[in-house]
């Protein structure tokens, strides 16, 4: 009995025969960890006292968060860099782009070879007839240490694409058609080989687009026949053969939430859009960039819309610059980002807000994957056409005048109910003192910038002081009514209101400082948060002393020590704002 492509690749890299269903050890040619998961790979190696099997086959690729704008990603990247220096491991750093694409373009991944990565779309290497697999950090750590890892030899599905698509269809439309046929799990547990007249003439960029979405069909990999790699034997045994009709295929699109929920663009034509994203490992190649430039050349993004374009690698980015495509993108009003995964990674270019309608070239549109918006998946030209039109459409149907932006009829936040204030807030409070004998406690120590997107005050309290050394558990230990006693220049740094409101959320009754940052002082007073200034107060009051504080007189009675101190009392303006419950009340 003949062998399939995956059986041949496995047998080349194993001492065992690749019998479907058997578990065998496979030698790994290329072993990769990304900034996502890379630090955990290092952790697994060092905690288990493991060394590298072969540094020359071992790589880091920093593509999830190339901007390092998420501090945890930045910290993980630094851990990986230190490990790489010590072990002579090559890094494709933050300026290089998507790791899977780099490995193909640099010739590191080769036809008939084997690659593992912490990237779930590592099966993209099927585009060159190589085996690729996404893995967790323990698997990757094992491969780094021993050079091999176990696999179950999968059965293979033979896919035949019949016919030739219309001129308006792209490889993305073809793979969306495949998703429509196979659904979210139609290739679960299977490798696949793909054939047909269309495939025979398909360039590498198009093969990458199709191979990258095997994961969305739950497939292990979609393997393309390769002149430099293996081809299946004539008598190879397949689990089944599936024929997919793509003759005359027209542009398709996935509706929000499910990549497999594929319909024709015509079916959703006219849906108004807010934003678009072009990029990812599925559609960030040079042919994609040129196709988008042809649509955008001489046109503008529709008013009020945003289009974000991210080439997959630095080489492609530079080629876009050399060919004048960057100018076309910028003249059209698009944002062009540094190469990387972008919209597929949290916090990166391509995220959406609640209620936002976006069209993306990514491979996934799961709920919450790119923020809280509704994401349609489509080809680069469909995304570009939709963004210059202001609504979902095809290139052929771009209107002369774009759709005007829709003005929201509803308020974006609920109006606070008007309640008649029957009592004046108390001017005397009692509580337990939290004495923090530190000066220059800044707003990042108080309320870290990674939480700045929080707008609900009820959510803020839990993060108070979680970046202040020694007080990370403050929010869990503090009680409503407690009094905060701090040193000089409290609240220096940024203008973030959350650094005040987090204490209101916890029920802190008053903050007594030796001095406040200028902006912090205004923010506190305007929000109705009681604050007082008292000279050298951290030297006088002990932690957990019971205090009675009078805002009008400035009197601070330490009942524990039976002593009285004085702060500067509320000014007339502060008193009026406090009585109202805040500047806007």
CATH code for position 384: 3.30.499.10
pLDDT tens column, 398-419: 999 999 988 888 888 787 776 6
192 shares its domain with 329? no
Minimal CA–CA distance to 118: which of 162, 168, 58? 58
Helix (H, G, I), strand (E, B) or coil at 61: strand
Let me know: does 26 contact 20? Beta carbons within 8 Å: no
* CA distances, 328 to each of 43, 320, 386 (Å): 45, 10, 17
Percent of the chain with pLDDT over 90: 88
The structure tokens listed for 231 are 């081809």
Question: Distance (Å, rounded) from C-alpha 271 to C-alpha 473?
Answer: 48
**Domain's final residue, options 250, 269, 285:** 250
Note whether 139 and 101 are same-domain residues.
yes
- 485 membership: H or E segment, kind and range: strand 483-486
Residue 168 falls within a domain, yes or no?
Answer: yes
Alpha carbon distances (Å) from 112 to 8, 28, 278, 352, 364: 8, 11, 30, 39, 27
The pLDDT, as a whole number, for residue 414 is 80
Domain co-membership, 349 together with 205: no
Tell which residue, 103, 96, 148, has the closest CA to residue 125. 103
The yes-or-no verdict on residue 378 having pLDDT over 60 is yes
* Average of per-residue pLDDT across 371-377: 93
Which pLDDT value is given to residue 36? 80
Is residue 376 included in any domain, yes or no? yes
Residue 185 CA to residue 217 CA, distance in Å, equals: 5
> Does the pLDDT at position 316 exceed 70?
yes
At 370 the pLDDT is 84
Task: Collect all residues with Cβ–Cβ distance below 8 Å to 385 and sequence separation of at least 6.
Answer: 295, 393, 394, 395, 397, 398
Per-residue pLDDT tens digits for 502-515: 999 999 999 999 99
Q: Is the pLDDT at 68 greater than 70, yes or no?
A: no
Domain boundary pick from 250, 267, 297: 250
Q: Select from 540, 569, 565 the least CA-distant residue to 554.
A: 569
Q: Where are the alpha helices (DSSP H) in 297-332?
A: 314-322, 325-332
Compute the half-sphere exposure of residue 204: CA atoms within 13 Å on the CB side of its CA. Answer: 13
- Contact assessment for residue 421 and residue 407, using Cβ atoms and an 8 Å cutoff: no
* Number of neighbours of residue 281 by Cβ within 10 angstroms: 27
On whether both 270 and 360 belong to a single domain, the answer is yes
H/E segment holding residue 289: helix 286-296
Look at residue 496 and tell me if it is in a domain.
Answer: yes
Residue 19: pLDDT over 70: yes
Pick from 1-5, 53-57, 328-332, 418-422: least confident: 418-422
* DSSP tally for the chain: helices H, then strands E: 20, 25
pLDDT of 270-282, one tens digit each?
999 999 999 999 9
Q: What is the pLDDT of residue 418?
A: 66
Residue 552 included in any domain: yes
The pair of structure tokens assigned to 62 is 């920093």
585 is a domain residue: no
Which of the listed residues 357, 381, 397 is the one where a domain comes to its end? 397
Does 4 share its domain with 139?
yes
The count of C-alpha atoms lying within 13 angstroms of the C-alpha of 392, restricted to the half-sphere facing its C-beta, is 23
Classify residue 115 by burial, with Cβ atoms within 10 Å: 0-12, 13-18, 19+.
Answer: buried
The per-residue pLDDT for range 479-529, each reduced to its tens digit, is 999 999 999 999 999 999 999 999 999 999 999 999 999 999 999 999 999
- In this structure, is residue 145 part of a structural domain? yes
Same domain? For 40 and 146 the reply is yes
Least confident of 12-26, 59-73, 115-129, 442-456: 59-73
pTM, two decimal places: 0.86
Q: Is residue 350 domain-shared with residue 309, that is, in the same domain?
A: yes
Residue pLDDT, tens place only, 319-364: 999 999 999 999 999 999 999 998 887 768 888 998 999 999 999 8
Q: Is residue 55 part of a domain?
A: yes
Residue 420 forms part of a structural domain? no
Domains identified in the chain, total number: 3
- Whether 441 and 520 map to the same domain: the answer is yes
The angle formed by the CA atoms of residues 282, 256 and 277, to the nearest 5 degrees, is 45
Indicate the helix (H) or strand (E) that contains 50. Answer: none
**Is the pLDDT assigned to residue 67 strictly greater than 80?**
no
- Burial call 35-55: b when 16+ CB within 10 Å, e when fewer: bbbbbbbbebbeeeeeebbee
Q: What is the pLDDT of residue 420?
A: 61
Name the band, by pLDDT with cuts 50, 70 and 90, for residue 238.
very high
What pLDDT, in 10s, does the model give residues 96-143? 999 999 999 999 999 999 999 999 999 999 999 999 999 999 999 999
End-to-end CA distance of the chain: 81
H or E element, residue 446:
helix 443-446
Q: What are the Cα distances from residue 172, in Å, to 162, 252, 253, 398? A: 16, 8, 9, 20
pLDDT reported for residue 422: 57
Domain co-membership, 316 together with 463: no
Do 386 and 266 lie in one domain? The reply is yes
> Are residues 226 and 94 both part of a single domain?
yes
> What is the percent of the chain where pLDDT is above 70?
98
DSSP structure class, residue 154: P
Residue 55 structural domain: 1-250
Q: 171 and 146 in one domain? A: yes
Write down the pLDDT at residue 417.
Answer: 73
Question: Which secondary-structure segment (H or E) carries 16?
Answer: none
């Amino acid at each position: 009995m003949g062998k399939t492509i995956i059986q041949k690749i496995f047998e080349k890299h194993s001492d065992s025969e690749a019998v479907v269903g058997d578990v065998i050890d496979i030698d790994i040619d290329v072993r990769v960890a990304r900034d996502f998961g890379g630090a955990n790979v290092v952790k697994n190696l060092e905690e288990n006292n493991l060394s590298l099997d072969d540094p020359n086959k071992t790589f880091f690729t920093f593509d999830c968060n190339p901007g390092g704008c998420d501090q945890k990603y930045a910290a993980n990247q630094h851990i990986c860099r230190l490990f790489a220096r010590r072990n002579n491991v090559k890094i494709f750093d933050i300026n290089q782009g998507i790791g899977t694409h780099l490995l193909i373009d640099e010739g590191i991944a080769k036809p008939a070879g084997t690659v593992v990565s912490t990237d779930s779309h590592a099966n993209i290497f099927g585009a060159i007839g190589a085996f690729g697999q996404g893995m967790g950090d323990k698997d990757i750590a094992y491969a780094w240490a021993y050079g091999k890892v176990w696999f179950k030899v999968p059965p293979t599905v033979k896919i035949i694409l019949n016919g030739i698509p219309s001129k308006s269809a792209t490889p993305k439309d073809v793979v969306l058609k495949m998703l429509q046929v196979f659904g979210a799990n139609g290739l679960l547990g299977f490798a696949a080989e793909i054939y047909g007249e269309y495939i025979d003439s398909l360039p590498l960029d198009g093969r990458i687009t199709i191979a990258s979405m095997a994961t969305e069909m739950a497939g292990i990999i979609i393997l393309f026949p390769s002149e430099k790699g293996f081809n299946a034997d004539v008598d190879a045994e397949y689990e089944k053969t599936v024929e997919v009709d793509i003759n005359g295929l027209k542009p398709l699109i996935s509706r929000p939430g499910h990549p497999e929920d594929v319909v024709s663009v015509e079916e959703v034509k006219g849906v108004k859009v807010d934003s678009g994203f072009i990029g990812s490992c599925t559609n960030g190649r040079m042919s994609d960039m040129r196709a988008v430039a042809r649509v955008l050349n001489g046109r503008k993004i529709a008013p009020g819309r945003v289009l974000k374009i991210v080439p997959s690698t630095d080489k492609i980015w530079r080629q876009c610059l050399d060919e004048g495509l960057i100018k076309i993108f910028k003249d059209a009003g698009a944002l062009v980002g540094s190469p990387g995964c972008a919209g597929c990674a949290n916090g990166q270019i391509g995220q959406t807000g609640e209620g936002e309608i976006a069209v993306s070239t990514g491979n996934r549109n799961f709920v919450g994957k790119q923020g809280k918006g509704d994401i349609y998946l489509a080809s680069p030209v469909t995304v570009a056409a939709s963004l210059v039109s202001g609504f979902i459409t095809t290139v052929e149907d771009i209107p002369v005048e774009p759709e005007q932006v829709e003005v929201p009829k509803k308020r974006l936040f609920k109006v606070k109910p008007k309640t008649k204030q029957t009592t004046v807030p108390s001017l005397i409070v009692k509580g337990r003192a939290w004495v923090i004998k530190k000066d220059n406690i800044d707003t990042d120590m108080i309320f870290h910038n990674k939480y700045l997107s929080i707008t609900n005050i009820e959510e803020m309290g839990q993060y108070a002081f979680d970046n202040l050394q020694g007080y990370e558990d403050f929010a869990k230990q503090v009680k409503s009514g407690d009094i905060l006693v701090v040193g000089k220049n409290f609240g220096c740094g940024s203008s973030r209101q959350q650094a005040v409101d987090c204490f209101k959320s916890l029920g802190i009754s008053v903050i007594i400082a030796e001095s406040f940052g200028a902006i912090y002082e205004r923010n506190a007073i305007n929000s109705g948060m009681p604050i007082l200034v008292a000279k050298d107060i951290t030297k006088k009051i002990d932690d957990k002393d019971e205090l009675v504080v009078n805002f009008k007189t400035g009197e601070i009675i330490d009942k524990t020590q039976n002593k009285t101190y004085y702060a500067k009392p509320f000014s007339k303006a502060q008193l009026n704002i406090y009585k109202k419950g805040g500047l806007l009340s």
